[in-house]
Amino acid sequence: MAEVLVAMSGGVDSSVAAALLVDAGHTVTGVTLKLWGGESDSGCCSVSDVDDARWVATALGIEHHVFNLGSDFNEHVVDRYVADYAAGLNPNPCIECNRHIKFSKLLDRADLLGFDQIATGHHAAISSHEGSLYLRRGDDPAKDQSYVLHMLDQSQLRRLILPVGDMTKDEVRRIAEERGLVTAAKPDSQDVCFIHSKGGRQEFLGNRIPLTPASVVDTEGVQVGSVQSVELVTIGQRRGLDVGGNTGRKYVTDIDRTSNTITLGDRAGALRESVALHRFVWADQPIAGPVVAQYSAHGRPVAGRLERLGNDGADEGSVVWDTPQIAVAPGQSVVFYDGDRVLGGAIAR
| DSSP codes of every residue in 124-150 | EEEEEETTEEEEEE-S-TTT--SGGGT
Verify whether residue 97 is a known catalytic residue: yes
Question: C-alpha distances in angstroms, 230 versus 161, 252, 258?
Answer: 42, 11, 11
Domain check: are 16 and 64 in the same one?
yes
The pLDDT value given to residue 13: 97
Instruction: Give the domain CATH number at 302.
Output: 2.40.30.10
Per-residue confidence band for 272, with pLDDT thresholds at 50, 70 and 90: very high
User: Phi-psi category of 289—alpha, beta or left, where left has phi over 0 and alpha has psi -120 to 50?
Assistant: left
Catalytic-labelled residue, pool 44, 45, 94, 97: 97
Domain's final residue, options 237, 265, 293: 265
Domain membership of residue 193 (yes or no) is: no
Q: Are 152 and 161 in contact (CB under 8 A)?
A: no
User: Phi-psi category of 310—alpha, beta or left, where left has phi over 0 and alpha has psi -120 to 50?
Assistant: left
* Residue 1 pLDDT greater than 80, yes or no: yes
Domain check: are 242 and 306 in the same one?
no
The pLDDT value given to residue 277: 97
Q: Taking the model in full, what pTM does it have?
A: 0.93
DSSP conformation class of 230:
G
Question: How confident is the prediction for the chain on average, in pLDDT?
Answer: 93
Query: What does the pLDDT look like over 316-335, one tens digit per residue?
Result: 999 999 999 999 999 999 99
Domain check: are 230 and 337 in the same one?
no
Q: Please tell me the distance from the alpha carbon of residue 181 to that of residue 53, in angstroms, as a whole number.
A: 10
Per-residue confidence band for 249, with pLDDT thresholds at 50, 70 and 90: confident
What is the domain count for the chain?
Answer: 3
Mean pLDDT, rounded, for 177-199:
89
- Residue numbers of the domain that contains 329: 270-348
Query: What does the pLDDT look like over 72-103, one tens digit per residue?
Result: 999 999 999 999 999 999 999 999 999 999 99
Domain check: are 244 and 333 in the same one?
no
Mean pLDDT, rounded, for 38-57:
79
Q: Are 305 and 315 in contact (CB under 8 A)?
A: no
Task: Tell me which of 11-15, 35-39, 264-268, 340-344 is least confident.
Answer: 35-39
Per-residue confidence band for 192, with pLDDT thresholds at 50, 70 and 90: confident
Verify whether residue 94 is a known catalytic residue: no
Catalytic-labelled residue, pool 44, 45, 94, 193: 193
Domain check: are 78 and 100 in the same one?
yes
The pLDDT value given to residue 302: 98
Domain check: are 105 and 7 in the same one?
yes
Domain check: are 229 and 288 in the same one?
no
